[in-house]
Copies of this chain bind each other. A is one copy, B any other.
Amino acid sequence: VRPDAIVFDMYGTVTNLKAVSNACADLVEDPAGFGALWRSKQLEYTFLSSLMEDYEDFWQVTEAALHYATAATGSRLTEGQRSSLMQSWLRPEPYEDAFKGLQEMKDRYPLAILSNGSRGMLKKGLNHAGLESFFDHVLSVDEVKVFKPSPKVYGLAPNRLGVCKERILFVSSNSFDVVGAKKYGFQTAWIRREEVPLDPLGETPDYVVSSFEELALLTA
């Protein structure tokens, strides 16, 4: 079924985390290991904060994960260095294929972002990435105070776009995000930016693509 609107995850899907990797490379000893631990704890803390029913926004969760990664690796960071690492989250860059694909799709569909990011992070991030004009709606989990993959999060899109869920195509590079969105009732496309298996949680995406250009062709 041809969708009436396309909704995108942000971090790792539309924009990359090069600024974060670069900040790690400048400031810590094992940047790859530190970055991976930071990111995995950040994601874990979105789950924990949601399940404990004690929402902290993505910025706070990212800070807590940074504290954990710093302690776990025995890194020594000054307050200024910690701040530099955090600020790098406000400088996302669009993937090259995402920029091109969005340009094609925006003439044909209403486009929206639906992200774990806090409102402030998304506003600054999209501005930095030069992507503000592509999106008709920017939806943050802040509005429901719970993180993905809660159905409450996906429910934001039909409400705000005025399009029923079956006619929304949801796009993410994160397997669990695609599975959650599919379970909620969206059409889904998984941008498979890494060679990882799909999380076998009972749902499979409608489409698997390797880039936004492939996605633009698919929805042309």
Chain A residues at the B interface, C-beta cutoff of 8 Å: 41, 44-45, 47-54, 56, 64, 67-68, 71-72, 146-151, 176, 179-180, 183, 196-197, 199-202
Q: Which residues of B contact A64 (CB under 8 A)?
A: 199-201
Interface residue from B54, B72, B150, B201 paired with A202 (Cβ < 8 Å): B54
Q: Is the CB of A47 within 8 A of B51?
A: yes
Q: Is the CB of B149 within 8 A of A51?
A: yes
Q: How far is the CA of A105 from the CA of B137 in the complex (A)?
A: 58
Q: How far is the CA of A179 from the CA of B53 in the complex (A)?
A: 12
Q: How far is the CA of A48 from the CA of B44 in the complex (A)?
A: 10
Q: How far is the CA of A176 from the CA of B43 in the complex (A)?
A: 13
Q: How far is the CA of A183 from the CA of B48 in the complex (A)?
A: 12
Q: Is the CB of A52 within 8 A of B200?
A: no
Min CB distance A51 to B, Å, is 5
Min CB distance A98 to B, Å, is 25
Min CB distance A16 to B, Å, is 22
Chain B residue at smallest Cβ distance from A175: B68
Chain B residue at smallest Cβ distance from A41: B199
Q: Which residues of B contact A146 (CB under 8 A)?
A: 51
Q: Which residues of B contact A183 (CB under 8 A)?
A: 52, 54
Interface residue from B53, B72, B196, B201 paired with A48 (Cβ < 8 Å): B201
